[in-house]
A and B are shown apart, each in its own frame.
Chain A
Amino acid sequence: AQKVTQAQTEISVVEKEDVTLDCVYETRDTTYYLFWYKQPPSGELVFLIRRNSFDEQNEISGRYSWNFQKSTSSFNFTITASQVVDSAVYFCALSKPGGYNKLIFGAGTRLAVHP
């Protein structure tokens, strides 16, 4: 069975701090995708990144970076120099490739960045 665990329910930081959101997944598939989505107060989930299981290279996009480690089944997300606009709920998700496969979401981590 597939499962995604986000152990951190809520994180509170002060602006400019670095913060890491943890994501641990379980799957028996050899090919799969991992995702991160951001849900701001407006409610609409916004896609941040997709990682293929065959690609373990870390990725950096501006202040965002992702660390994918198959050995520990983790796909952690780090925000560097956090800003108030980063305040949101962040979801990690897992799926098999292909149009008929559903996304399995973690419970989400609520990040509050204070000025």
Chain B
Amino acid sequence: DVKVTQSSRYLVKRTGEKVFLECVQDMDHENMFWYRQDPGLGLRLIYFSYDVKMKEKGDIPEGYSVSREKKERFSLILESASTNQTSMYLCASRQVAPRDTTNEKLFFGSGTQLSVL
């Protein structure tokens, strides 16, 4: 089974801190994604990465950056955390078609609930 692991389930940080959210996948997937989930808004894409060292902004990249130095790891960075970044953060990975035998579905981690005080 594909496994996507997020380093922390719950995280509490203070305003202004630099925050790192880590995500690791074990299936050699090319694509990786960071979403944030907020009530009433669903999942919104922050950043995604096609492959190592490649990244592209999603719909809400402001206040975030990412790093993909190795294929299996995709990090989300909050340079200076703010209270409006309190949210559930979900990482996902996906194999690239046509080698994708799982119909382009995303595999998700369990999420990191970040609270910024």
Contact = CB atoms under 8 A, between A and B. Distances in A.
Are A and B a genuine interacting pair, yes or no?
yes
Contacts, number: 62
Nearest to B54: A100
A102 B109 contact: no
Given A43-B88, A99-B50, A9 B111 contact: no
B27 to A, nearest CB: 14
Nearest to A35: B105
Given A44-B110, A102-B58, A97 B104 contact: yes
B103 A45 contact: no
A4 B59 CA distance: 14
Interface in A43-66: 43-47, 50
Interface stretch (B17-25, B36-44, B68-76): B36-44
Contacts of B107: 47
A19 interface: no
A102 B97 contact: no
A106 B41 CA distance: 7
Contacts of A47: 102, 105-107
A50 B35 CA distance: 20
Contacts of A42: 110
B97 A97 contact: yes
Given A43-B111, A99-B50, A99-B96, A33 B40 contact: no
Contacts of A4: 42
Given A43-B110, A47-B105, A99-B50, A91 B43 contact: yes
B43 A105 contact: yes
B104 A102 contact: no
B58 A107 contact: no
Nearest to B113: A43
A103 interface: yes
Interface of B: 9, 30-31, 33, 35, 40-45, 48, 50, 58, 88, 90, 92, 94-97, 100, 102-111
Interface of A: 4, 6, 9, 33, 35, 37, 42-47, 50, 91, 95, 97-100, 102-103, 105-108
